[in-house]
Amino acid sequence: MGTMLELTWIDDTAPLPATHGALGVDSDAPGLLCAGGRLDTRRLEEAYRRGVFPWYGNGQPVLWWTPDPRMVLPVRAFRLSRSMTKTLRRFIAAPDCEVRVDHDAYRVIGACAQVPRENQRDTWIVPAMVRAYSQWHDEGRVHSFETWIDGELAGGLYGVGIGRMFFGESMFSWRTDASKIALAALVAFCRAHGIELIDCQQHTRHLASFGAREIPRAQFEAHLASALDAMPPRRWTYDAALWAQLGLEPHSAAHEATAT
């Protein structure tokens, strides 16, 4: 109850409050900045440029968060296990396997909405979020990285791209390692286009295993100040040549797959 009494409430016209006013680590909801207002693309644009994101459940008002510390994945720190490297080499070599970007973003968002996150019983991607991020995709801000096998969507992820910053939102798999393949493709894309950080919002062991780590909120906001106004990628597409960013050139992958 004490946490709720300290919380700032906003309406549709009020700007988001300063991030230093977010609830601290000694509160019941560390990183919670404010509540209320409508979830639309205008508000989302304002929020992400401030390092703030919505996260709430059915029956709750919109809750806006800015954690301290912040979980991020520096793309140069991305690491793959030996088994995942072998999986990627087989995927790259197979003619019926490919990564697509924004081919079926609505379906990716919808699939992610059905997958609970770590330590959560229910999904946090409520119907209002599905609608808002789908509309934001129509406006060119939300992008999906998709793993396709045998002509079928097997898994993927979606997130927000502003300038040279990518904010990861959620991922899903319908086949083993499909979301991990999409994440590896996202990292390769980011390396090729000068995107240094992928925002992961909050700590999970899964993302930490790939090299994600926590940094102070002030450091995260300082990075945003330069990255958001940088020239964005001209095209959100995936070419197999981008696997070279991870040391996984298609021709060598094909040779290894044949050899094994």
Tell me what percent of the residues of the chain surpass a pLDDT of 90: 86
Query: According to DSSP H, which parts of the chain are helical?
Result: 2-6, 41-49, 82-93, 105-112, 127-138, 178-192, 205-208, 217-227, 250-259
Instruction: Tell me the pLDDT band of 180, cut-offs 50, 70 and 90.
Output: very high
Rg (CA), the chain: 19
Mean pLDDT, to the nearest integer, of 213-223?
A: 98
Which residue bears the tokens 């209002």? 128
Mean pLDDT, to the nearest integer, of 143-162?
A: 98
Neighbour tally for 32: CB within 10 Å: 23
Domains in the chain with CATH codes: 2-67 (3.30.70.3550), 71-259 (3.40.630.70)
Question: Taking 90 as the threshold, does the pLDDT of residue 111 lie above it?
Answer: yes
What is the spatial distance between Cα 94 and Cα 78, in angstroms, rounded to a whole number? 24
Question: Taking 90 as the threshold, does the pLDDT of residue 116 lie above it?
Answer: no
Mean pLDDT, to the nearest integer, of 158-177?
A: 97
pTM: 0.92
Nearest alpha-carbon partner for 91 in 190, 177, 187: 177
Q: Per residue in 6-35, pLDDT tens? A: 789 999 999 999 999 999 999 999 999 999
